[in-house]
Chains A and B, each alone.
Chain A
């Protein structure tokens, strides 16, 4: 069975500081991994995805994530936080053509 664990339900960073949201996955098959963002009162938006190509994946809004098989991790980073990055972030895992399994989410707060 596949699963993801997001470390920290709430993360606060200062504007301009590094954003690091942690995600570890469990999968018995080569996983497809995702980060989704959900802004208040809006739908889910795909930030980036890993599909067995390059291990360092770049997404929208300056975010990127690195797939590390040895650590079963897929942490999300952004070098410099912006106030507009405040949102809920979900790490997720899937088979190639199947349902998505989401983590519980991390709410990112940006401090002025």
Chain B
């Protein structure tokens, strides 16, 4: 079946502009995560959705970053007044929700998309 898809694959913008990055999760995955991977670093968590609501947005670096998931499927990461330091690969991941009845050894894998490479000039 189809995996997580992200569009665009590459985005070049100028400092101060607004950008939107899109993530299409795997069908049926109610959990969706955004991560950011700067050059030479591991991915860093930004925000986590369970359904339509943001369950944890503690990783968003400042109020220029915002994400939505209005219908509980596709998510859009929005960055206002972009800065050169925002240049990175933005990764999206999705997973099935854990059920309370599942044993503690259960873990629902997060499946990652190919990412969007954002370059701010």
B114 touches A43 (CB 8 A): yes
Q: Could you tell me how many residues of chain B have their Cβ less than 8 Å away from some Cβ of chain A?
A: 27
In the bound assembly, the distance between CA atoms of A90 and B44 in angstroms comes to 12
A53 touches B41 (CB 8 A): no
What is the distance, in angstroms, from A41's C-beta to the closest C-beta of chain B? Answer: 9
A96 touches B112 (CB 8 A): no
Residues of B within 8 A of A30 (CB): 104
What is the distance, in angstroms, from A53's C-beta to the closest C-beta of chain B? Answer: 4
Q: Could you tell me how many residues of chain A have their Cβ less than 8 Å away from some Cβ of chain B?
A: 24
Q: Which of A43, A45, A51, A102 has the most CB of B within 10 A?
A: A43
Residues of B within 8 A of A100 (CB): 33, 35, 43, 45, 110
Given the known interface contacts A43-B112, A43-B113, A104-B42, the answer about A49 and B107 at a Cβ–Cβ threshold of 8 Å is: yes
Which B residues form the contact surface with A (CB < 8 A)? 31, 33, 35, 40-45, 48, 56, 59, 91, 93, 97-98, 104-110, 112-115
